[in-house]
A = this chain, B = another copy of it.
Amino acid sequence: MTTIQDVAMRAGCAISTVSRVLNGSPHTTEATRVRVMAAVDELGYRVNTIGRSLKTQKTGAFGVLIPSITNPVFASSLGGIEEAARTAGYDIIVTTSNYDPGRDGEAVEALLARGVEGVLLTVTDPATGRVADRLAARHVPHVLLYNQPIDPAVAAVTVDNRRATADLTGEVIARGHTDIGYVSGVFGSSDRARIRYAGYCDRMREAGLKPQAAVEVPFVGQDRDFVAAVARFLNAPTRPTALLCSNDLLAIRIMAAARTLGLRVPEDLSVAGFDGIDIGRMVEPSLATILQPAADMGRQAVQFLFALMRGEREPATLIMPHTFRPGRSLAAARGGTIAGALRAAPAPALNRKTIP
């Protein structure tokens, strides 16, 4: 490996001079600058990031913890994160928890050991994990993504999950449904699932309807087990006319399972999701859902993290806007009326706001 030492020798100057030239220090002659750069080119020298990091205590990298890479909503946000990081000259170190609450902690420890300058994280549960606390104790800047922070002192970028699901539930009710079920990933693996369920309950009660118990299904299991679990539920005589799912991937799997069971969506069962993944627009029937701007949330989280690193900003929760995306998976209830749909007040648009 060619080092700064070699360059100095070749250029006939001191190591410190080379370093100055390389870092664009003003105290340097054009002549030496040219000589040094020539030596750099001839030797094919490239600065060693490790040596630099050791001295400067900066690694130029931050960590990202997400539950899963294969869920398109996290893939999208990761895409936004990667882009924003690259633009700023930062590298990202990606790690996953696979929805396992225990792995949140070790994953963050591993990131810390690597010397990341900050961490972006979507934890399984901010209430029980206390991962953010450990980061705070170590003074490592961090931003929660998708999670709703327990402690307002923790920075976060999310949508108003509760309100959004309430809005979505309102859309379903407006289409004449009264028997509306809720299917969810395991509550212990996702605070979003819990919060969204609460939003569903809010709106149901508001409409004078009885919220149903959430059906928790294992999110990462085998397909066969999944279909079996769903079948037990959908074949029951008490099957609802509409089903809210805690996320789009789940909704799409449910639709596929329903088809397997001989149910037609939306004629026999309306389905709605949450996330707004692209694929939801391409499936048949297209999936009604709440759209959250995943890639943009990732980008925003990165900007937020940088601000925190520079000490420019106090931690705050950034609530991103959500929108209802209609889809053919959600139809009027049998016997429901267009008039009923028109009577229902449309959900007011939520604008981005910062809660200090």
Contact = CB atoms under 8 A, between A and B. Distances in A.
Interface of A: 46-51, 53-54, 59-61, 68-70, 72, 75-76, 78-79, 82-83, 86, 91-96, 109-115, 252-253, 255-256, 259, 278-279, 281-285
B72 A79 contact: no
The oligomer's copy count stands at: 2
Nearest to A223: B281
A75 B82 contact: no
A53 B59 CA distance: 12
A81 to B, nearest CB: 9
A57 B149 CA distance: 39
A96 B82 contact: yes
A123 to B, nearest CB: 17
B86 A75 contact: no
Contacts of A59: 50
Contacts of A76: 69-70
Top 7 closest A-B pairs, CB basis? A256-B282, A284-B284, A69-B79, A75-B75, A50-B53, A283-B283, A50-B54
A contacts with B: majority SS: helix
B79 A68 contact: yes
B50 A282 contact: no
A212 to B, nearest CB: 24
Contacts of A72: 70, 72, 75
Contacts of A93: 61, 91-94
Nearest to A265: B284
Contacts of A54: 50-51, 54
Contacts of A86: 95, 110
A252 B277 CA distance: 14
A78 to B, nearest CB: 5
Contacts of A70: 72, 75-76, 79, 278
Contacts of A111: 91
Contacts of A75: 69-70, 72, 75
